[in-house]
Amino acid sequence: MNTLSNNDFVLRLEENARDSLVHAVEHFLAEERPTDLKYTVLHVFHAAELYLKARLAEAGKELIYQKNKVEVDGHTVNFKELKKRLRKVGVDLSAQDEIDLNFLQKVRNSIEHHEFAGNREEIEEYVGRSIYFLETFLQQQLNINLKEKLDEVDEEIYPTLSKAQLFYIRRMVESGISLYPKYKEIDHQFFSCEMCRDSMEYEETIVFPDPTTTDNTVHCFCCQRRYFVGFCVNCPKVTLSLIEPSKVGIQDIDEDLDENEDGRLCDRCIEEIAERDY
C-alpha cells in the first residue's frame, strides 16, 4: 500500500470501507449465528473509521499513521487521534458528529471487549445512526454518493441501510429528540409511499421534513423515489407529489415547482368536497 499514489491510497481505503458495509449487511440479514449481529456492529464501525481515514489521507497518506510516516507494518492512529487530525486539516466535525461518533465507538468497544447482549432492534438503530452520519459526511467530505457506490457491488445492500436509517429517525422522533440540533421544535410527520403501497414491506417510509435532503423534496427510505412537498390550499395539511424519474436535476425540480405553485388539495379535502358536492 505504501507504493500507491496518494489518490490510489485513498481509493483503496474507500473500497475497503465499502466492503465492510457490505459485510455488515450480510451479517445483519443472515442472523443465522449468535455472532452475526455482533459482526454487524464491528463491520459498520470499521467502515466509518476507514472512511474517516480516507478523508484524512486526502491531505496526505502519512497522516493516518502514528509516526506520520507510511510504513507497511506501521500502526495507524487511534480513533481519538483520527478525529483530532481531521480537525487539523480543516474537516469540521459538528458537536452532533462528535456525539454520534463517540456513541458508535462506545458500542463497538463494549461489543469487542465484552459478551454481546444486543437485540436486533438495537443493532438496527446502531446501523441507522451510523448511516445517518456517513451519508452526509461522505457527500460533503469525499464527494461520495453512498447508494451509487454500494449499488456497484450489490443493489440489495443500500435499501437495508436506508431502512435502518429510517428506523433510527423514527426512534429519535418518538423520543422527542430533534434531528436538527439548532432547531428543537421541529415536528416530523411520516407518510406512506404510493409506489410501495402494494409491497409486503408497506409502511410510512417518508418523513417530512426529510433530514437527508436540502431542497423542497422528500424521499421514500424504501424505494428511494422522491416527492415534491406542498401544502393543501384548503387546509394546513402537507401534500406530496411524486417526481417523475426523468426529473432528476435541481433545474427540473424548480421548473415543476413553478408549474405547481398554485397548490393542490390534500386527499382529505378532496373527499370532503366530493361528499359535499354529492
pLDDT tens figures, 130-174:
999 999 999 999 999 999 999 999 999 999 999 999 999 999 888
- pLDDT for 267 equals 74
Higher pLDDT, 211 or 251: 211
Q: How far apart are CA 14 and CA 49, in angstroms?
A: 10
% of the chain surpassing 70 pLDDT:
87
The label of the residue with cell 417510509 reads 205
Tell me phi and psi for residue 242, to 5 degrees. Answer: -65, 130
For the ranges 34-38, 80-84, 85-89, 247-251, the lowest mean pLDDT is seen at 247-251
Q: Minimal CA–CA distance to 145: which of 164, 158, 160, 129?
A: 158
**Do 105 and 79 form a contact (C-beta atoms < 8 A)?**
yes
Model confidence at 238, in pLDDT bands (50, 70, 90)?
confident
Give the count of beta carbons closer than 10 Å to the beta carbon of residue 136. Answer: 15
Confidence label for 20 from pLDDT (cuts 50, 70 and 90)? very high
Instruction: Work out the pLDDT band at 257, boundaries 50, 70, 90.
Output: very low
Q: Tell whether the model's pLDDT for residue 250 goes beyond 50.
A: no
- Domain residue spans of the chain: 1-182, 189-278
- What does the mean pLDDT of the chain come to? 85
Lowest mean pLDDT among 113-122, 196-205, 224-233: 196-205
- How many C-beta neighbours within 10 Å does residue 203 have? 14
Helix (H, G, I), strand (E, B) or coil at 273: helix
Contact criterion met (CB below 8 Å) for 44 and 27: no
What's phi and psi for 189, nearest 5 deg?
-120, 150
User: In this predicted model, what pLDDT tens digit does every residue of 158-170 receive, in sequence order?
Assistant: 999 999 999 999 9
In this structure, what are the phi and psi dihedrals at residue 146, rounded to the nearest 5 degrees? -60, -40
- Residue 15 cell numbers, joined: 473500497
CA dist 272 and 267 (Å) reads: 9
Q: How confident is the model at residue 252 (pLDDT cuts 50, 70, 90)?
A: very low
Do the strands 206-208 and 238-242 form a parallel or antiparallel pair, or are they unpaired?
A: unpaired
Query: Rounded to a whole number, what is the distance in angstroms from the first to the last CA of the chain?
Result: 74
Q: Express each pLDDT in 60-108 by its tens digit.
A: 999 999 998 888 788 999 999 999 999 999 998 888 899 999 999 999 9
263 pLDDT band (50/70/90 cuts)? low
What is the per-residue pLDDT for 270?
78
Helix H, strand E, coil C: the string for 152-196 is CCCCCHHHHHHHHHHHHHHHHHHCCCCCCCCCCCCCCEEECCCCC
Dihedrals φ, ψ of 192, to 5°? -90, 155
C-alpha cell of residue 6: 496518494
- Selected residue with higher pLDDT from 250 and 243: 243
Given the C-alpha cell 435499501, which residue does it identify?
159
pLDDT(256) > 70: no
Given this model, what pLDDT does residue 236 score? 79
Q: What is the DSSP string of 108-164?
A: HHHHHHS-----HHHHHHHHHHHHHHHHHHIIIII---HHHHHHTT-TTHHHHHHHH
pTM: 0.84
What are the pLDDT digits (tens) for 176-191?
877 776 666 778 889 9
The rounded distance, in Å, linking the Cα atoms of 272 and 230 is 19
CA distances from 42 to 48, 60, 87, 212 (A): 10, 26, 25, 25
